[in-house]
Amino acid sequence: MSYETLLVEQTPASAGGQITTLTINRPDKLNALSPVVIRELSEALRALTAETRVVILKGAGEKAFVAGADIGAMQTLSVAEAKAFTDQGHALGRVIEQLHCPVIAVVQGFALGGGCELALACDFIFASERASFGQPEVNLGLMPGFGGTQRLTRRVGLGVARELVYTGRQIDAQEALRIGLVNRVVPAEELSDAVMKTAELIAQKAPLAVSACKRVMERGYDADLTTANELEATAFGALFGSEDQREGTSAFLERRKPRFVGK
């Protein structure tokens, strides 16, 4: 499929399957999230097959991952239209979180407002040392509308999230790493290689097992411990009905590399 605001690249993974890179392609607008961008991202993610083992999500150019929502498109929204817009953003976040495989956000430059929220919906975030993050909506008389008040709190804790949301303060990559907002910070020239190396490592693992891990961790995070452990136990047992489980255990006992097929 071709998109107006999105580039899609599929790279064969060394152990089978593929790594899909989605690039928001609006560098002249600092990759701002318009309704079209959100719709196309959702469509592209929903169209992915089980052959995709990892998704890499990034913005075109070096200035921004996503600098925020498209303020020009938002300025004249009515109350009803604004609610519909935020619902669209929340739906995209759910698509990312419910996807069968991990999504890695690759942040160069700005990840502000909706851009920070988009990154937070991903499984983890790799950032350039020149990246910056923030929820500056209060500077516009607004508040985060794509999950920032909720995912940021869950990522960095309530106290830190309150400070960032109430002040609208931007933080650099090192502070983002310190508070647990990002997983890794690397020099800009090494960022692509670091992300691809991690994507390849994940792609070598049993895809059904990785998918089950993502699903259980997502659903169990806010559940009570008994419920969450039951989710884990059920998913663990279900994997024993897969070819990959039999292949993985056989390969271990035979001291060879497994050949996972996602079945």
Q: Which helix (H) or strand (E) holds 80?
A: helix 79-98
Look up 243 and say whether it is catalytic: no
User: Residues 248, 258: contact at Cβ < 8 Å?
Assistant: yes
Tokens linked to 85: 């817009």
How many Å from the N-terminal Cα to the C-terminal Cα in the chain? 26
Look up 189 and say whether it is catalytic: no
The strand order across the sheet containing 110-112 reads 64-66, 110-112, 132-134, 171-172
- The CA distance from 160 to 195, in Å, is 27
Q: Write the Ramachandran bin of 99: left for phi over 0, alpha for psi from -120 to 50, otherwise beta.
A: beta
The single residue of 51, 117, 230, 254 carrying the catalytic annotation is 117
- The CA distance from 235 to 215, in Å, is 9
The single residue of 4, 51, 62, 137 carrying the catalytic annotation is 137
Task: List, by residue number, the catalytic residues.
Answer: 117, 137
